[in-house]
Amino acid sequence: MTYAFISSASGSLDDYRAAATDACSRHEITPVAMERFTADDQPPLEVCQAKIRSAQVLILLLADRYGVRPAGYDRSYTELEYDWAMQQGVPVLAYVATDGFPWSGPPRSAATLSHYAEDLAALQRFITRVKTAHTVKKFAGLENFRMDLYEALMPYRPTAEGAEVKAAKVRGPWFREDRTLPSPPHLCAMPSYVGGTPFTGRRADLSSLDAWARSDDPVLVVEAIGGTGKSALTWAWTNTRAKSVMKPAGIFWWSFYDGSPSMERFLRELLSYLTSGKEQSRIGRDELPLLVDAKLRRGAYLLVLDGFERLLTAYHQFDPSKVTEDDVEADRRANKHSMIDTLGYEFVRGLVHASPSKVLISTRMVPDALEGPSGGLLPRVERWRLPGLLAADVRALLTRLEVTAGPEALSFLHGLGNHPLLIAIVAGLARNYRPAPGNLSAWLAGQSFRVDDPKLARRRHHILEAAMRDLEPGTARLLSWISALSGTVHWDVLESINPLAADGLSKARAGALLDAALGDLEVRGLLWWNRQMNTYDMHPIVRAFAYDRLEGTDKFSAHARIRDHFQALPPEEAGTVSSVEDRTQTISLFRALTGAQQYGEAYALWNRSLMEPLLLQLGANTSVVELLEPFRRTNVIGARADHSLALHMAGKHDQAIEMELINLDLVLTDADKGEIRRSLGRLAAFYRAAGQLARHAAVVAILGTGETDVANADLPTLALRRAILVLLNDDVATARATLQDIATSAQSDANPWFANDVRYWRMVAEFRSGRTFSSAAFDHLEKGNVDWRSRLAFSTLKFRIALEAGDLGLAATTAERIDRLRRIGGQEAIPIESAVTLAKLGRAEATQTVAECFARMPRLHLFDRPHYLCAMALTELRQLDEAIEQAQQARRQAWADGPQFSYRYELRQAEALLTRLGASLEPLAPTGNNERTVPLLSTASEALQYGRSFL
């Protein structure tokens, strides 16, 4: 670690000492200064000497004061520190104030006036000594001083010593670093909150938090739109009042903004804290909530979860940093406040029983895990909607931001909802208003707009537009370039992509310009700096706005520079990944390539490093859809195909069909038989998943066109599709024989799901023929299932078999796994399997779980709605009229395009249940769907038969 000792007399140089501290932090040099010393039993002189001995450089600032002399010495602390540095051979960077520096002048006190001349003479002698021994840099303005010091410190930065520090940065975000956690009762913040606006006021809100901490309610949700200050409020209360109010056994702060949205990672870190650092890596994922819950119930801990919306569907994408309230409002999904991970869902739902511990959640949206079937909050959960600041707090905040405001300016801020983020940005504009610096009223009078739009989003847009116009062009460009990155950005990334760097400019000077521009953005409230981690971040509102300003060649240049940075880094380790975050670096490179419109290179990277872990292993379908969205504007059929597959696996079958029809249109133009067959194959799967069996059968039939020309690699999949269709029509014997032939055939298939699909459908055929399966048989079959899609398929089948066999224990655990897999895959999940199991077990919570299922049912695709399982659960609950209605729905669902194109097994199940319930079986009419309803099918048939395009 590199240390820099900052030496000067106190007083007029305080701002310069702070600037020196920042310059050191920028270079990841640890600043050492007397005002930062902790309590020590050694005398100050000995502490100073020891600190200087360990320093690699001394920063010496000399201005208008000589400084205090220690008792018994004729030299000041500052000069003694200089002498010790010289004796130890520590390099000295010396700065002396120019004549333009605002000198403080002689003291007014007669008692100290007599020493003034003596100190002034000593100061001049000291300055002469320093100038004789060193090349001295003069300073007057704070900004120029910081830039000069930044350049001077360049040779001392740790990164100059070799690749070791660089490799540490490449390892990834803070949650992957080796570290020692504080133990209870000390606060453990992962990471500490860093905001752009100083926390001000909110006395009533702080008092309300005190009252909640004394209440019997274990959970409080602080809800507000972005930038209102919910994180700042909860952080301030946690650090200043929580200990005295509730005397917690420990305090754990976790930020989902700066870390990972992985609930498993959060629970492991929390359990490690609660057990004073015990190793948790070997504990099973499903055990974590139980162990954490047990610890929370044994002691009065305070748990603060900041940025909780990152765990919800509306914000669940790899780059949630650009998701704004406008985006969420435009999101018409009914389940946008659903949690993405069933592990988190069950844990959060159980927090209502966490007493005597307390859980404080800050979020832009209340999670569904804390709501009952009717949409209201669960008992013992409080919810606040945090408003903007009070008028008095606004005035106090403006004072802290060095801005004055008259009544009309305060009214203007009231029209912005007294929103702290916007206040900070407006204050930055007013401070830099040249005609009247710091006068908000004068700045407002000089504007050509008035924010009177009825929507806050539009008013906010006007403010951000003005803020961008007020920036120097290079600084505005920097902000937009940073916005092209995802989330928190480390300094070394900014230094690498620096848009202020120009040909002929040294790295040190380019870095100094970058540092100055970042400082300007920070002061204006547009960016905030985590000094401890040397990272920058911005609010999603600002990020989205700044990114929208990137246009044309500048947008291309930004992404190209980002691409170059990430391409130069060592590649991430190969192997199985446990979360999307394990491919953060590769995804950043992929985004840069698509942003630079280098789609060919991006697709090659996708195929090489991302498709298998994200689409196959994890089933991160929502992230895949978002990552591949740029390819909708291209003819890169492989990426478009994976896009449609991700939509299908996320349960968006109709969207997948729509996109695949466009893909088919594209490949028909090229008359590539292989691509045509693959597109038709995907279309067939999507039609079957959407319950459109007639169209599915028509597409499968066309796939046999020109069968003698079918490539060997495609024949096994064609045979499998035919076998599935036979099985759906209830010819189990024929299907079993065909599937057996496929399984024993030596032919291979390029389809990555092929082998597991064959195993799955063989098991379905065996089950429908009356064979029973043990849990051990399932365990054996599941060992090879490394992909998400197969895990979900086998788990769903395992549940149905366990349920029919009466093994309710196995059914219950499998139901939880199904729900978790669906959520991970971005599907509109409802806990129907758990509802059926609970009903059969006679558990009291079955009624509520069934009600939750019905509340969420409209979110599902029509063919994915589990009417049969709902009917089973309602039958167990003796709600027979409702059970009959659901069984009738299940019958119509299984009838599909009947009678020839129906799901016979499911149809027989529904009819058997209706018979048991004493309901009549009304005739079901054919729908009339046939192959002519499939767009482009005849053209595809001709292309496969004759090998040319007919478009």
Give me the domain span that covers residue 484: 392-564
Q: Is 229 contained in some domain?
A: yes
Q: Are residues 218 and 280 in the same domain?
A: yes
Q: Are residues 146 and 50 in the same domain?
A: yes
Inter-residue contact 298 to 353 (CB < 8 Å): no
Q: Among 708-712, 727-731, 903-907, which stretch is predicted with the lowest mean pLDDT?
A: 708-712
Q: Can you tell me the distance from the alpha carbon of 314 to that of 332, in angstroms, rounded to the nearest whole number?
A: 10
pLDDT at 371: 84
Read off the pLDDT of residues 127-149 as tens digits, 9 standing for 90 and up.
999 999 999 998 878 888 999 99
What CATH number does residue 96 fall under? 3.40.50.10140
Q: Is 820 contained in some domain?
A: no
- For residue 652, give every residue at least 6 positions away whose Cβ sits within 8 Å of its Cβ, in sequence order, or none: 861
Inter-residue contact 353 to 297 (CB < 8 Å): yes
Read off the pLDDT of residues 860-870 as tens digits, 9 standing for 90 and up.
999 999 999 99
pLDDT at 660: 96
- For residue 294, give every residue at least 6 positions away whose Cβ sits within 8 Å of its Cβ, in sequence order, or none: none
pLDDT at 785: 67
Q: Are residues 635 and 522 in the same domain?
A: no
Q: Can you tell me the distance from the alpha carbon of 618 to that of 264, in angstroms, rounded to the nearest whole number?
A: 14
619 burial level (CB within 10 Å; 0-12, 13-18, 19+): buried
Neighbours of 570 (CB within 10 A): 10
Inter-residue contact 229 to 197 (CB < 8 Å): yes
Q: Is 42 contained in some domain?
A: yes
pLDDT at 78: 92
Q: With 90 as the cut, is the pLDDT of residue 640 above it?
A: yes
Q: Is 13 contained in some domain?
A: yes
pLDDT at 171: 38
Read off the pLDDT of residues 772-821 as tens digits, 9 standing for 90 and up.
887 777 777 666 667 899 999 999 999 999 999 899 999 998 998 898 78
Q: Are residues 186 and 89 in the same domain?
A: no
Read off the pLDDT of residues 561-603 as tens digits, 9 standing for 90 and up.
999 998 888 888 776 677 787 788 899 899 999 988 899 999 9
Q: Are residues 514 and 634 in the same domain?
A: no
Read off the pLDDT of residues 274-294 as tens digits, 9 standing for 90 and up.
998 776 667 877 788 889 999
Q: Which helix (H) or strand (E) holds 852?
A: helix 846-856
Q: With 80 as the cut, is the pLDDT of residue 260 above it?
A: no
pLDDT at 448: 72
What CATH number does residue 379 fall under? 3.40.50.300
Q: Is 363 contained in some domain?
A: yes
Q: Can you tell me the distance from the alpha carbon of 650 to that of 946, in angstroms, rounded to the nearest whole number?
A: 36
Confidence of residue 486 (pLDDT cuts 50, 70, 90): confident
Q: Which helix (H) or strand (E) holds 592?
A: helix 584-595
Longest CA–CA span in the chain (Å) reads: 112
Q: Are residues 185 and 295 in the same domain?
A: yes
pLDDT at 904: 93
Is 195 or 898 the better-scoring residue by pLDDT?
A: 898
* CB-side neighbour CA atoms (13 Å) of 425: 27
Q: With 90 as the cut, is the pLDDT of residue 446 above it?
A: no
pLDDT at 951: 39
Q: Is 494 contained in some domain?
A: yes
Name beta bridge partners: 92.
Answer: 58
Q: Are residues 189 and 334 in the same domain?
A: yes
By C-alpha distance, which of 935, 860, 863 is closest to 893? 863
pLDDT at 317: 65
Mean pLDDT of the chain: 86
Q: Can you tell me the distance from the alpha carbon of 44 to that of 684, in angstroms, rounded to the nearest whole number?
A: 79
By C-alpha distance, which of 55, 69, 75 is closest to 129? 75
pLDDT at 916: 95
DSSP SS3 for 306? strand
Neighbours of 51 (CB within 10 A): 18
pLDDT at 172: 47
Alpha helices by DSSP H, listed for 13-109, are 14-26, 44-53, 77-88
Domain edge (last residue) among 367, 387, 407: 387
Neighbours of 866 (CB within 10 A): 21
- Mean pLDDT value of segment 880-895: 95
Read off the pLDDT of residues 595-638 as tens digits, 9 standing for 90 and up.
888 999 999 999 999 999 999 988 889 889 989 999 999 999 99
pLDDT at 576: 63
Domain edge (last residue) among 564, 587, 605: 564
Read off the pLDDT of residues 743-771 as tens digits, 9 standing for 90 and up.
887 666 678 888 889 989 999 999 999 88
Q: Is 541 contained in some domain?
A: yes
Is 331 or 385 the better-scoring residue by pLDDT?
A: 385
Q: What angle do CA 563, 564, 566 make, to 5 degrees?
A: 65
What sign for the dihedral angle of Cα 528, 532, 535, 537? negative
pLDDT at 331: 72
Q: Are residues 83 and 185 in the same domain?
A: no
Q: Looking at the 3D structure of the chain, how many domains does it have?
A: 4
Q: Are residues 32 and 71 in the same domain?
A: yes
Domain edge (last residue) among 600, 628, 646: 646
Torsion of CA 368, 220, 383, 412, to 10 degrees: -120
Q: Can you tell me the distance from the alpha carbon of 829 to that of 546, in angstroms, rounded to the nearest whole number?
A: 35
Q: 693-703 vs 937-946: helix axis angle to the nearest 10?
A: 10
Q: Can you tell me the distance from the alpha carbon of 258 to that of 177, in angstroms, rounded to the nearest whole number?
A: 14
- Mean pLDDT value of segment 7-13: 82
Distances (CA, A) of 98 to 58, 59, 63, 76, 127: 20, 17, 8, 21, 12
Q: With 90 as the cut, is the pLDDT of residue 43 above it?
A: no
Using the CB atoms, write b or e for 462-491: b if 16+ within 10 Å: bbbebbbebbeeebbbbbbbbbbbbbbbbb
Q: Among 67-81, 361-375, 548-562, 715-729, which stretch is predicted with the lowest mean pLDDT?
A: 361-375
Q: Are residues 428 and 442 in the same domain?
A: yes
Read off the pLDDT of residues 98-117 as tens digits, 9 standing for 90 and up.
877 776 666 665 556 667 77
Q: Is 903 contained in some domain?
A: no
- In DSSP notation, 233-297 reads HHHHHHHHTHHHHH--SEEEEEETTTS---HHHHHHHHHHHHTTS---TTS-GGGHHHHHHHHHH
Read off the pLDDT of residues 402-444 as tens digits, 9 standing for 90 and up.
999 999 899 889 888 898 988 999 998 898 888 999 999 998 8
Q: Are residues 571 and 559 in the same domain?
A: no
The residue assigned the tokens 């549940």 is 799
Phi, psi of 482 (to 5 degrees): -65, -35
Q: If you count DSSP H runs as helices and E runs as strands, how many of each does the chain have, helices first? A: 42, 14
Q: Are residues 582 and 481 in the same domain?
A: no
Q: Among 217-226, 329-338, 385-394, 801-810, which stretch is predicted with the lowest mean pLDDT?
A: 329-338
- For residue 552, give every residue at least 6 positions away whose Cβ sits within 8 Å of its Cβ, in sequence order, or none: none
What sign for the dihedral angle of Cα 246, 247, 250, 252? positive
Is 842 or 337 the better-scoring residue by pLDDT?
A: 842
DSSP SS3 for 487? coil
Q: What tokens appear for 291 in the block?
A: 């162990």
Q: With 90 as the cut, is the pLDDT of residue 823 above it?
A: no
